[in-house]
Structure 1
């Protein structure tokens, strides 16, 4: 993790206190309100990408800051009555220990993340720890209430960023319905969500399974260090946009998958108006269609995904 990219120049800022109270021995930790950044709970009917800015500072005369940890705990639903995804405990999303023996007295950090396209909730917690072990925590809850939450086919749009840096959202958690930054998949818990990666290869950019050769050599994602690599199956598909749009049922997805030969640990070249079919490690099938490609290399991808709930 390049810490210098995260510790931005500190300017006079208006701080908004949120979340749990702090004791006088703990560091100061606040969400920053700048008109666009998230500072409190939010309920959504459409998935979105948010920015959260946090400011941490050691107490006057207190010890320096040692660590920043971000966790998320998720519960999403197949339908309003049936639990689909449940994290039994919070998963570490980001964790960094500051350089010793001269720890910082304050820092500013920005977290950009995509919310799930499923119905359910995400509970986020930010914890800063000082050298003496004193802690301060702030948090918020994102609640998703999409209109199509009981449709058996989960349809959503997502942007995958080319893996330029650790914050690039280049990893698709297909069932959960959002993209993850590279630094989240440094953590073991989030490696279990990673179905499809956007990486480079000797022949150009590809969508790849975590077990593919292209993923193993991806420098930013560092997949070769992962504790868990999901065996997603992938294949290119001849589907046109019209044929893709016509898929609205589980049978339609099954027919699209049956029309190609899937490869465990596969990797598929990407391009505008290209379709890819896939099967997750649990056997859940889906199809995606690339509807947009960026203009500056390495390009970002915009795609529509359809997967069985």
Structure 2
């Protein structure tokens, strides 16, 4: 009897196992630079922004790129959490998923996308996933995660500072979800009903002589193509130093109730804002809070810098 050497019998198996995919999908990579963040990292400031640039190329010439979806997975949820003794990190029932962008691509063999994305304001982890699809339905995926720790997570209220930008090119962050502390661009809302249900406020541009303001998403003048959240805004005479004195659920609830008859005209707009102005608000789900106009930036990209305190 003749025997083949064992290595000859195994050789075809090795070829099959080690051979790269015969029909690869899109190739996706992050672009790193002094501006763009290409990797997972820990963030130190609630409400920070992360600049990301992602590049994809088709796996083959006759299967161009057709679709890009960017999603964020928050663990725990982006909304403030009242921690219990039974809480366990990574518990999926407390997680939250947000579709940041869902857009078609016009049959491109290469595609680059860059954005300045909002980081969470509550403690926890968020995983950003970038999925490119080609004309054959094959996917290429890259992801990174961000983690934020806070020493005041057990406080009775949630606080953060967030920049809200004037509308403009490249989907600037003009919409604010008060509970989550997320500033979102218009492209995150246009065709995504779940995101539309989150946002409370919109940046209202001013002019060279008039400061910008804020409007709720129910404001008729915005002509938004969806039904907005009926968050209520109230005038207050509070100062910036007084703002810091409201540090409990009872404090915030009482001060909002005290000024609930001090409505703006129209009730859905603040009109031009001034630095250090304090506005009280109540969301449709009865979360009470105060908003301080920390700064009004009029050079470069016009921006309102807001400090927010909101009950959990």
Q: How does 1:127-166 map to 2 (within 5 A)?
A: 127-166=131-170
Listed as ranges, the gaps of 5+ residues in structure 1 are 1-20, 217-222
Q: Does 1:282 align with 2:285?
A: yes
Aligned partner of 2:8 in structure 1 is none
Q: How does 1:129-208 map to 2 (within 5 A)?
A: 129-186=133-190, 187-200=192-205, 205-208=212-215
Query: Could you report, residue by residue, the CA deviation over 1:245-288 in whole angstroms, capped at 9, with x for unpaired residues?
Result: 22222222123212212669621122212111111121101101
Assess if the C-alpha contact under 8 Å between 2:132 and 2:141 holds in 1: yes
Assess if the C-alpha contact under 8 Å between 2:28 and 2:140 holds in 1: yes
Listed as ranges, the gaps of 5+ residues in structure 2 are 1-19
| Structure of higher CA gyration radius | 2
What TM-score comes out, normalization by structure 2 length?
Answer: 0.80
* Deviation for aligned residue 1:45: 3.8
Q: What secondary structure is seen at the aligned counterpart in 1 of 2:81?
A: strand
Aligned partner of 1:8 in structure 2 is none
* Deviation for aligned residue 1:115: 0.9
Task: Tell me the distance in 2 between the aligned counterparts of 1:277 and 1:214.
Answer: 22
* Deviation for aligned residue 1:41: 2.4
Give the superposed CA RMSD: 2.7
Q: Does 1:211 align with 2:218?
A: yes
Query: Could you report, residue by residue, the CA deviation over 1:142-184 in whole angstroms, capped at 9, with x for unpaired residues?
Result: 2221111111121211111011235211111111123111111
* Deviation for aligned residue 1:87: 5.1
Query: Could you report, residue by residue, the CA deviation over 1:2-27 in whole angstroms, capped at 9, with x for unpaired residues?
Result: xxxxxxxxxxxxxxxxxxx9985201
Assess if the C-alpha contact under 8 Å between 1:209 and 1:230 holds in 2: yes
Q: Does 1:95 align with 2:102?
A: yes
Task: Tell me the distance in 1 between the aligned counterparts of 2:103 and 2:238.
Answer: 44
Q: How does 1:283-298 map to 2 (within 5 A)?
A: 283-296=286-299
Task: Tell me the distance in 2 between the aligned counterparts of 1:145 and 1:190.
Answer: 25
Task: Tell me the distance in 1 between the aligned counterparts of 2:279 and 2:92.
Answer: 25
What TM-score comes out, normalization by structure 1 length?
Answer: 0.81
